[in-house]
Structure 1
Amino acid sequence: MIIEEYYTRLDGSESLTALDLVEPDVSFLIALPGTEVTGTGHAALRDYIEGRPAVGRRHTVLRRSVDGDLEMVYGIITEGDGRGTGSFSSVALISADERVARYQAFFHPSFGMFPLPGGGR
């Protein structure tokens, strides 16, 4: 799955390699508590990635699904100490070139489908 590999790269030591998996004109929405980040293109997504605080977070995918050119994942965010800080769901429309063409992600710190590890909410 492209979106799962995107998160693996995003969480790795060279997070900008995640951009190799998205179309140059990618459109995205990242919904966080109290704010939404939207944009189009590598530059806008790079700005978002570079602007995230370096806290050692990891996206752990717990469920995944593919329906044609649509990929969906659900998971939890954990910090470096293993403590869960919230859940996320993401959907990506995959292009004919097998890159993310459109992407939307939703994160919530307290509501999730499964309990968070390490005493998280």
Structure 2
Amino acid sequence: MKQLKEKAALIEKVKEDKMKTNVKKMDDRELLLKYLYDRGDQVLQLAESQYPVQTKIIVKRIVDLIKSGEIDSNISGGELLAIFRSVGLRIRVDTNIRIEEHGKFISFGEKLKEGI
């Protein structure tokens, strides 16, 4: 009976440790999200969908740098994209170029077609 109680306590402890680990990972991501601006959250979401394992490692490292004080300013979407590209991850980002003409926004492709 004593062994059964000890085993149950050990199983409960393992479950709690897993929960704490999951909360910590979410905290790392949420801490990073507080430092992101200018579409940084979109870049992070794209990175997580395209390279989930590598992104977790990079997010943890960035959060470690934030916690240690080496990074004290906010990170833009372009800077985050540059970080991912510097380690060899080619994050694909949809890009649209729009030009304002007579109060309306038209795509760059349409503008080129008009000129021809």
Superposition TM-score, scaled by structure 2 size: 0.26
Superposition TM-score, scaled by structure 1 size: 0.25
Structure with more strand by fraction: 1
Name the larger-Rg structure: 2
Structure with more helix by fraction: 2
